[in-house]
Amino acid sequence: MLIIIVNIGLFSEEVEDYSKDRKWTIQTSPGFYLMNIASLAAGDLFIVDLEGQYKINHIFNVSLTLSFMTSFWYTDNLMVNIKPMFIYRPLKTGLKGFYLGLYPIFGIMNTGNYYYGYDITYEVGFGLNLGYKWILKNGFTIQWGSGIGKTWSDDKFMNFSSDGRLLFKYLDIFPIDFKIGYSF
């Protein structure tokens, strides 16, 4: 029996040295685009997010995520969130590897409809994310994480935020933070 082992170099030392030169990452959540396609027939939901991350040094990163959601199911909802994040990488891996992120979140929502009027409400909150990011040799990134937080808002009807958090009375849960992108 002949066994051939091929090293494709995705997670070798060569990749580790290559990723140290990268200072920026741009990434988005592909799950939102799948939800957009699935809800295209109903014309109900549209969500987009974009995150930029900058490596300060091998331990600390900062990021900024902008997210947008609109829904026309029962009301004409529009939500925009801004989430700056401070990221700590205890293993000194730069833009990749295990991370712990602390963030505040600021948002504005326009809820209501044409017949009953519109209300503008605001949300503010904070949270904690844990996750892991891979940087492939060609620069593409894959990030997987989760988190918890708390948001305060005047809107009592929203249970899903434009950045993917599930909003409950006492706690927000970020069940899946899956993003793909590119580092340069």
35 in helix, strand or coil?
helix
Architecture of domain 27-183: Beta Barrel (2.40)
pLDDT of residue 83: 97
**Domain assignments of the chain as residue spans, ordered by start:** 27-183
Q: How far is CA 157 from the centre of its chain?
A: 22
Query: Nearest 5 degrees, angle CA 112-CA 71-CA 119?
Result: 20
Regions of the chain short of the pLDDT cut 70: 1-20, 41-43, 72-76, 112-115, 155-158
Q: Dihedral of the CA atoms 141, 99, 177, 102 (nearest 10)?
A: -130
Q: Give the closest residue to 165 by CA, choosing from 148, 179, 143, 145.
A: 148
pLDDT of residue 155: 66
Task: Specify whether the CB–CB gap between 152 and 122 falls below 8 A.
Answer: no
Residues 6+ apart with CB under 8 A from 135: 15, 19, 22, 25, 95, 96, 141, 183
Amino acid at 52: G
For the entire predicted model, the pTM comes to 0.82
pLDDT tens track for 94-131: 999 999 999 999 999 887 666 677 778 899 999 999 99
pLDDT of residue 129: 97
